[in-house]
Every structure is written in C-alpha cells, then in structure tokens.
Chain A
Amino acid sequence: MLFNSIEFAIFLPLVFGLYWVIGARHVKAQNVLLFVASYIFYGWWDWRFLALIFISSLIDFLLAQKIAATEKQRSRKSLLAVSLIVNLGMLGFFKYFNFFIESFTDAFTFFGYQFSADRLDVILPVGISFYTFQTLSYTIDVYRRKLEPTTDAVAFFTFVSFFPQLVAGPIERASNLLPQFMRERKFEYGKAVDGMRQILWGLFKKIVIADNLGRHADYIFSDHTQYPGLVLFLGALFFAFQIYCDFSGYSDIAIGTARLFGFDLMRNFAFPYFSRDIAEFWRRWHISLSTWFRDYLYIPLGGSRGSKYLQVRNTFIIFLVSGFWHGANWTFIVWGLLHAALFLPLLLLGKNRKHTNGIAEDRLVVGGEEALRIISTFMLVTLGWVFFRADNIGHAFSYLWHMFSKLFHPVGLANFQFANLYIVSDFMMLILFVVIEWLQRHKQHGLEMTGVKTNRLGRWAIYLGMIFMISMFGQTEELPFIYFQF
C-alpha cells in the first residue's frame, strides 16, 4: 500500500479511529490492532512475504531471550551469530544472490575461464533491508546488555512490522521504539496536529517535487548522449531533488503517521542539502541508517580511533557497506566509495566535526563563505547521484563524460524538450520548496509551526495552499517510493 494512494487514505483514518476507540488504557489491544494493520499494509503488496517478516521477528524474539538467559559468552556469541546468519542470509539471498552470480561469471569470463550459473528468478521483498536492520538492532543490543529482552510477543512483532516505517524507515532502534509499545500512549493534540502537518509536507515533497522532477530526470538519463552538458547537469540536479524529496517525503509521512498514534520515531533527514561539507551531509542524510552503521559497524571496528591506516580502512568499509546496502549493483558501491573519498580528507585533517552548529544561525541569509561551502557540497553530492541513478557503471561514466565534455556545446537548451510542457510550474515549485526548507532549516520539517505566531486563518490558508499545490501541480500517477526497492 502506497502512502500516496487512495487505499491508504481510507486505511489510515480507519486504523486511527479504531485505535483510539480501543483507548490508551488497553495497550495490548492497541498493539494487536497495529500488528494486524501492519500485516495488512505489507500484505497489500504481496502477502507471501509476510512469512519472511514473521520468521525474522520470531527468530529474534526467541534468540534474544536465550541470549539474555545465558551468561556464557560463547553461547551468547553463537546465538547472536544465528540471528545474524538468518537475517543477513535472507537479505543476501533475496537482494544479492543474482548480483554475486553475475559478478562471478563476469570475473571468470574476464580471466578467460568459462563459468556459468543460472540467475534465480526472485522478487525482492519490499523493505527487507529496513526491517532486517531494525530487528538486528534488537538482538545486538540485547547481546551487548544495553536492552532487556521483551517477553511481549505482540509488542515485539508490532515493533518489527510497525506500518508507518516498515518499508522505508526510519530504521528504528529497539531501545527507542520498543518501549513505546509497552507503555500507555496518550493522544496529544499538538503532537497529532504536527503529525498531520508533517504528512502534508511529505506528500508535497513526494507528489509535487520528486515525482515531477523524476520524470524529467528519467527522460534525460534514458538518452543522455543526445543532450548538451548543461541539460545533463540539469538531469543530475533533478535527480538530486527527486531522491531527496522522495525518500525524506516518505520519512515525513512515516513520522507524522506514527505521531497520530502517539509514537515518536527518530528523525531521518535534517535539511541535508544545506550541509557545508560531506561529513555534515552524512549527519543530515538518512540519519537512521548512518547512525546504525556508526553504532553497529564503525565503532566496533575501532571508529576514528587508532592509526591513520585503521581510520582510512574503517571509513572505506562503512561507506562501501552503506553503498552496498542500497542495492546489488556496482553503481551503489562506487557511489559509496566516492563519498568515502570525499569524507576521508576531512577525517584525516580532523575537520569532520567542524560544522555541527546550525546553518546561518540567527541570520536569514547565509554569508559568502558559508554559501560557497553549501553550494560546493551540494555540487559534489549531485555528481555522486549520477552513479546512484545510472543503470550501470558505464552509463554513469558516459553521462559524466558527456556532461563535462559538452558542457557548453553549441546545441543549447532551446533544442531540448522537457518531459512535459509544465516545466515552468515544476521549476516554480522547486524554488518554493527550497525557500521553505531554508526558512524552516532549524525546525524538524517544512511545516512545523512551533515558535511561530500564527492565527487560525493563517494556518488554514497554509493548509489550503499546500493542498491546492499538491492538487494543481502534483504528478497524477501513483508512483512508488524509490527506497522501496532497497
């Protein structure tokens, strides 16, 4: 079920109504409702994959109790290994099996050996990378004695499958979300209203910005050799905003929806395109995944402690794995390594935590130097997105080569036709979006109104304006979110 679908527009109020009719005092009954709703939500795509979530949840639910019950370090390690093997095994099978088969075949062929193996005709279960990491965080935290295992099966199963964030995050930590399933959730007016605003903002990002710009980006990437460099740059720029608004739009809707049910999910994006260097970008982009890797991979590897060699190694490992997490394609690996290469100088010079303060604090307009930093970081990130978007490595390099070699090619923009006639309104919406993001950069999301003096008329005018813009300028097709494929 897509957030931007009629089905969800019916599903959400229905579940919301039943949930609060049951009442805050009946936590278990509310959890049962959320569990059933989450499985319906997920099963809407393909009910067969419900078995995977169920198995993954069951194994971690049982293993965590076993881990906590034994004091023998060896047994604890073995039990954790079972959890890792089962969860990562399922993820690896569905997501990476064909990639490894193809890569081995290519490698053998390259060295003149004959090797053939059949690809498996498997469908990637939606959101498998997200819920696998979420449930793994639970067993790892129990193993590390940071978390007591739960004996409430319904709460745990609902924590793994919680529908607002099931298919594309934020990847929640058990230590943050699981306790919320145990305690009474009270309806808070302010929280629910802000949740609604965040949902509205997420829908605007997805339907108006991401889906419209995505069409132009698809058009340009599909036939890039025909266009001058400036158009290719525009294609990369469109994709940069498409991927950001698509993914962060999903996160906004997820966080907003969870708030309607009295839950607080972690923040996943913090206006990343205003970052002043790559290190700051990674503190603002897909925060739940970055911090997951930091806590469960980077720090156990030694983090930024130890020799320069170890620092370099750890940095490359974390970005490589991060790239590979996104998909079974060399394009994602190169994208990850490119970011590692951009991050590394900052780490080695000890400047990776230089920009931890707010952007242009107490000022409306950014200073010259800071503006240059923001623009140059955005440009680097945008170039990186070319690898992320390309069909394969050859496509990415060809795209970049054409972009730079024909940047000022005599064939100008005039000869280029956009994917639809309404490019003017798409540009206008993009500019409006960037302006709102800039004005709201110290808030949680684009429509947060805390600390802003508004009367009811003003607020309703804003809601009406947003709804009108979604309706007038939004993409009319229900397009899936990009991160569902990861």
Chain B
Amino acid sequence: MKKFLKNIALSIVVLPLLYAVLLFVYGLTAPGILRKNMPYGSVKGHLYTRLEETKTYGSCDVVVLGSSHAYRGFDPRIFKQYGLKMFNLGSSAQTPVQSKILVERHLGKLAPRLVIIETYPAVFQADGVQPAIDLISNDYINGEVIWMVLQMNNIRVFNTLLYGLMRQFLGMQPKVKESKKDQYISGGYVERTMQVMDDPSQVKEQRRWSFDSTQVRAFESLIQMFDQKEIPYVLVQAPMSRAFLARYSNGDDVDGYFSKLDPNYTNFNKVEPFENKYFYSETHLNQKGVEKFNRILLNELQQKGLIE
C-alpha cells in the first residue's frame, strides 16, 4: 500500500508538470485541426486588434457591448455622421460573464457617456466556452480569468488557459488568423464583404429561449455595476431574420425580462421589419442592413433623449 500511495502522490506532482510541458510543445507544433481541446487562437473576431486600439482610442461618447451582433452590427462610421464617437467592445459570442471582465478592464480608458448593450438571447443560454477561449487568446490572463475558467469546469477552456499562461509567461504575442471576408474598421467594428443570405431553412420545430442562471447573474451584476458607477446604459436587441425569430416561441418573455431591467429597452425586430436582403446570415446584418439599423437606432436614442 505504501508503494502504491507513494506512486500516486508522485504522479499527482509530476504528471501535471509533464502535462503542462507536453501541452505547450504540442500547442506550438500541432496544426489547428489536431488541437481539438486546446483551440487557442481559434476564435475569429478581431478581439486582439480591438483591445489594442482601446489603448490609444481615447474617451468616447458611446461604447457597445455584446456578441458578434454588436461588433458586426454597430458601425462607428455611421455614429460619427451623427457627431458621436463610438467604440465597439463586442466580441465573438460574448456572454455577460466576459462582458463584465472586458468592462472592468477597458471601459475606464474609453469613459463613455452611454453604454449600449446588445442582448442577443442566445448568449444568455450559452456555456460561454467560445468567448472564454477568445478572451484568453487575445487579452491578458489574471486571477479573474483563472476564476472564470475554474467556474466553467471545461477541459477545452482549461487547456487553453494553461497554454495561454505559458505563452504569457514567455512574453509571446497572441496569434489569430482572421477571416479574409472580414475587414477591421477603426472603432472596433468588423465589416463583412457585402453578401445576401441564402433562403432560410424551413422551421422544423419551435424552440424556446432558456437562460442559464450563471449568465443571468453575471448580466444583472453588470447592470448593477453600471447603476453604482452611474454610467448610463441602454439595452437593445439588434434585428435578426424573420425565419430565425419564427423558430422561438417565447420572444415576448425575453423582451419582458429585459424591459424590467431597462425601461428604455428596445427590440428592433419589432420597430421595423428587416427583409432577407439586409442579412448575410440568419442572425447577422450585412452592411446595408447595418446602415439601415444604425440610423433607426440613433433616431430612436435621440428621441428618447439618450444621445444628443
């Protein structure tokens, strides 16, 4: 028994160290398709460039938070036409857990007068693995990120964290190959080459949005943080294709929840219908759609007195 326990104890000490070394060497040498559970740098969305830009962008009027619906749906060039300096702090599949971390780290530099939070319901029911990998790969790792990973209890995120930590320790820069279809626009926006979505697939069955309690808690704590710091915010839901919206039966319940948190909440799917020609995918606006949406949004915000 002594020998067995000795070997177990030895393996508890030695194997994790060897594992970390192996993971690092493997991460440096293996191609992406063989890094299934260590997808460091696999999330596209220009987060690294965006976060680098926050260092020099200076203070602005508006900051946008949210998923790809945010960084692909709110164009700072259109905001500029309205005399507003905007920065888009959205990131791929960003859930409230990551929004909170990004706000704590980067909002101070941007000092906005208004924060727009895009509330794509899917991120409220997501496990947050993809945005966690995005964050680890493109921003620095600290205790807060490590705590987030421990709470997620997911081997993909854990491996990515371990690899990211070793890269950070050795001073290596993040390395993400972005899609050639996308162009980064100063102010955090990503413009997709103009295209129109294919005919949407038929609705096979009705689904319901079902929010994850962790995401709800993080979101409400984010709202609370804005309230405490007296930073004005507004919740909005960007347009999605009608085919996509038709799949979900409890959209009104979702609107009800957000309206309770913010009386100014607006679901822009209900303000004006957006035809398929305004989308490049079922949930993403193309550039024509973004232009139309942003003008409607800015007029709405002006009417509500949230911007000048």
A residues with CB within 8 A of B: 6, 20, 187, 189, 192-193, 421-422, 424-425, 428, 460, 463-464, 467-468, 471-474, 476
Check if B19 sits within 8 Å of A473, measured CB to CB: no
Check if A472 sits within 8 Å of B33, measured CB to CB: no
Complex A-B, nearest 10 residue pairs according to Cβ-Cβ distance, in ascending order = A422-B36, A187-B1, A472-B37, A424-B33, A425-B34, A425-B36, A464-B18, A473-B36, A476-B155, A192-B4
Nearest-neighbour CB distance to chain B for A191, whole angstroms, equals: 10
Check if A189 sits within 8 Å of B15, measured CB to CB: no
In Å, the complex CA distance between A194 and B41 comes to 39
Beyond known contacts A468-B19, A476-B37: 18 more, CB 8 A cutoff: A187-B4, A189-B1, A193-B7, A421-B33, A424-B33, A424-B34, A425-B33, A460-B14, A460-B18, A468-B22, A468-B26, A471-B37, A471-B155, A471-B159, A473-B37, A474-B37, A474-B155, A476-B154
In Å, the complex CA distance between A395 and B151 comes to 42
Selected A-B contacts with CB under 8 Å, 11 pairs:
A421-B33, A422-B36, A424-B33, A424-B34, A460-B18, A464-B22, A472-B159, A473-B37, A474-B155, A476-B37, A476-B155
Check if A472 sits within 8 Å of B15, measured CB to CB: no
- CB-based nearest A residue for B35: A472
In Å, the complex CA distance between A467 and B153 comes to 17
Interface centre among A192, A422, A428, A471 (most CB of B within 10 A): A471
Check if B33 sits within 8 Å of A189, measured CB to CB: no
The answer, yes or no, to whether B166 is at the interface (CB within 8 Å) is no
In Å, the complex CA distance between A16 and B167 comes to 38
A193 surroundings in chain B (CB, below 8 A): 4, 7
The answer, yes or no, to whether B221 is at the interface (CB within 8 Å) is no
Interface of chain B, main secondary structure: helix
In Å, the complex CA distance between A422 and B159 comes to 16
Interface residues in B1-51 by Cβ distance below 8 A to A read 1, 3-4, 7, 11, 14-15, 18-19, 22-23, 26, 33-38
- CB-based nearest B residue for A193: B4
In Å, the complex CA distance between A422 and B23 comes to 18
- CB-based nearest B residue for A6: B153
Check if A476 sits within 8 Å of B156, measured CB to CB: yes
In Å, the complex CA distance between A467 and B23 comes to 11
B23 surroundings in chain A (CB, below 8 A): 468, 472
Tally the A-B contacts, defined by beta carbons under 8 Å: 54
A474 surroundings in chain B (CB, below 8 A): 37, 155
In Å, the complex CA distance between A214 and B14 comes to 33
Nearest-neighbour CB distance to chain B for A305, whole angstroms, equals: 49
With beta carbons under 8 angstroms apart, the residue of B4, B26, B159 that contacts A189 is B4
In Å, the complex CA distance between A428 and B30 comes to 14
Check if A472 sits within 8 Å of B38, measured CB to CB: yes
In Å, the complex CA distance between A472 and B18 comes to 14
A20 surroundings in chain B (CB, below 8 A): 1
Check if B155 sits within 8 Å of A463, measured CB to CB: no
B26 surroundings in chain A (CB, below 8 A): 468, 472
A463 surroundings in chain B (CB, below 8 A): 11, 15
Nearest-neighbour CB distance to chain B for A474, whole angstroms, equals: 7
In Å, the complex CA distance between A467 and B11 comes to 12
In Å, the complex CA distance between A20 and B11 comes to 20
In Å, the complex CA distance between A468 and B15 comes to 10
A422 surroundings in chain B (CB, below 8 A): 33, 36
Nearest-neighbour CB distance to chain A for B284, whole angstroms, equals: 20
Check if B3 sits within 8 Å of A189, measured CB to CB: yes
In Å, the complex CA distance between A311 and B178 comes to 68
In Å, the complex CA distance between A193 and B159 comes to 27
In Å, the complex CA distance between A424 and B36 comes to 10
Nearest-neighbour CB distance to chain A for B152, whole angstroms, equals: 11
A425 surroundings in chain B (CB, below 8 A): 33-34, 36
Nearest-neighbour CB distance to chain B for A160, whole angstroms, equals: 28
- CB-based nearest A residue for B32: A421
A189 surroundings in chain B (CB, below 8 A): 1, 3-4
B156 surroundings in chain A (CB, below 8 A): 476
- CB-based nearest A residue for B158: A471
B153 surroundings in chain A (CB, below 8 A): 6
A468 surroundings in chain B (CB, below 8 A): 19, 22-23, 26
B34 surroundings in chain A (CB, below 8 A): 424-425, 428
A473 surroundings in chain B (CB, below 8 A): 36-37
In Å, the complex CA distance between A228 and B15 comes to 45
Interface centre among A463, A472, A473, A476 (most CB of B within 10 A): A472
In Å, the complex CA distance between A422 and B155 comes to 16
A460 surroundings in chain B (CB, below 8 A): 11, 14-15, 18
With beta carbons under 8 angstroms apart, the residue of A6, A187, A467, A472 that contacts B36 is A472
- CB-based nearest B residue for A426: B36
With beta carbons under 8 angstroms apart, the residue of A187, A467, A476 that contacts B15 is A467
In Å, the complex CA distance between A192 and B154 comes to 29
- CB-based nearest A residue for B7: A193
